Structure 1
Amino acid sequence: MDAVSAFSLTSLGWLSAQALPLIVWPSFVASLLVDEVPIPPAAVYFARALGIAQLALALQSLLLSGLLPLHAADDTAAASPYAWAVLFLSTMYHGAAAFYSYGCYYYRVQTSVSAYAVGCAGSSALAAFGLWCLLFGGGSHISRRTGADKRTSGFPFTNSAAEKRKVR
């Protein structure tokens, strides 16, 4: 399993853990956030809509990353061309969710709202994992013969020791 698939599965798990209570028991989740005794129907509607949207985002990133193929299985199929775009958008989503959760926790820390801290920790971990996948998850570009990274260049520094060994 490559890094993009691992990120997609982890993101699916985190978003599902957030979405299922919103879909199954929205009045309980809304009662944690609203001080009114009768929960407004709009709060229940928006809780369920948010849960469904989170599940849709998770399943869409799972499908577009190429982990679940949309076509018949054959050995000649290449990786999904949308995998990096989905990885980038999911990373930006988790980063924004972490930033928002941290802001809510920071400004409401005196009321002891620990759910924001848990949400911030989970989203921050996924944002960091997604950033790592974007930077280093593209596979290995190490030469089997020399052991050097094929993607490096000499700009702005040159390898003078290697140039001295070259015979011109």
Structure 2
Amino acid sequence: MDVFYAYTYGTAGWLGMQAVLLIVMPKLVVAMLASGVVHETTDLEIYFSRSLGFALLLIALIVLFFTGTVPLSSSITEPVSLEDNDPKAPYALPILRVTMFFHALSMIYCYQRWMNYRQTGYLLGAIGYAAMASFGLWCVVFGTSAGRVSKRTGADKRTAGFPFKNSTAYDKKKDRKMG
């Protein structure tokens, strides 16, 4: 599976899991994160919990559909690339960057709440968001270019032999001799 698809499915799964909990069991979530010992949930807290759950579910679906992970047409001949000019998923790279930023900010917020209140729910949220943010950062740094592979030798042209001899590095002289 492509790393980008794994990230989009992971993002949708993480947000979907939170959304289902907020929609189905808002009283439990509010009670777990309340600072008091016994907390009676209000109708407003339930409303905002379910609204946040629906918003997270919408974001998860937007990530899946607009990145090309779930195709909107019935025919796919080649996978979606993360180049800016890909007609199959023109929003793939911007959504990748925005969701990575969202995961990072949410991780910072959950960690800050955990440092202040020492509640396990915030720590679990911080760990989940940190995992998704680091996975997204990895996709942005390493997963957005296909590489430059030589048609003749099959070696990646971006590798070099400096400072140590790299036997798999692309060699222009060897490439010219073979052609």
TM-score (norm 1): 0.80
Q: Secondary structure of 2:149's match?
A: coil
Q: Which runs of 5+ in 2 are unaligned?
A: 81-86, 161-170, 173-179
Distance in structure 1 (CA, Å) of the matches to 2:102 and 2:159: 29
Is contact 1:7-1:129 (8 Å) kept? yes
Which residue of the partner structure matches residue 66 of structure 1?
68
Q: Matched residues in 2 for 1:61 and 1:134: separation? A: 15
Pairs within 5 Å for 1:9-158? 9-34=9-34, 35=36, 37-75=39-77, 79-109=88-118, 113-138=119-144, 139-146=146-153, 147-150=155-158
Q: Between Structure 1 and Structure 2, which shows a larger proportion of helix residues? A: 1
2:168 corresponds in structure 1 to none
Deviation for aligned residue 1:37: 4.5
State the SS of the aligned residue for 1:66. coil
Question: Deviation of residue 148 (structure 1)?
Answer: 3.7
**Runs of at least 5 residues in structure 1 that lack an aligned partner in the other structure:** 153-161, 164-168
RMSD (Å), alpha carbons: 2.6
Deviation of 1:151 after TM superposition, in Å, equals: 9.4
Identity over aligned residues, as a percent?
32
Structure 1 counterpart SS, 2:73: coil
CA spacing shift, 1:17–1:81, aligned 2, 3 Å: same
**What is the CA–CA distance in structure 1 between the aligned matches of 2:148 and 2:129, rounded to whole Å?**
30
Q: Secondary structure at the match of 1:81?
A: coil
User: Offset of 1:3 from its aligned partner?
Assistant: 1.8
Distance in 2 (alpha carbons) for counterparts of 1:37 and 1:104: 18
Looking at structure 2, the residues matched to 63 and 108 of structure 1 have their Cα atoms a distance apart, in angstroms, of 37
Distance 1:48 1:106 in 2: 26
Per-residue CA distance 1:86-121 (angstroms, 9 max, x = gap): 111110110111010111111123xxx111111111
The normalised TM-score by structure 2 is 0.75
User: Do the aligned residues in 2 keep the contact of 1:2 with 1:137 (CA within 8 Å)?
Assistant: no
SS state at 1:71 partner: coil
Q: Distance in 2 between matches of 1:151 and 1:44?
A: 55
Q: What letter matches 1:65 in structure 2?
A: T
Moved more, 51-60 or 29-38: 29-38
Compared with structure 1, are the counterparts of its residues 39 and 72 closer, same or farther at alpha carbon in structure 2 (3 Å cutoff)?
same
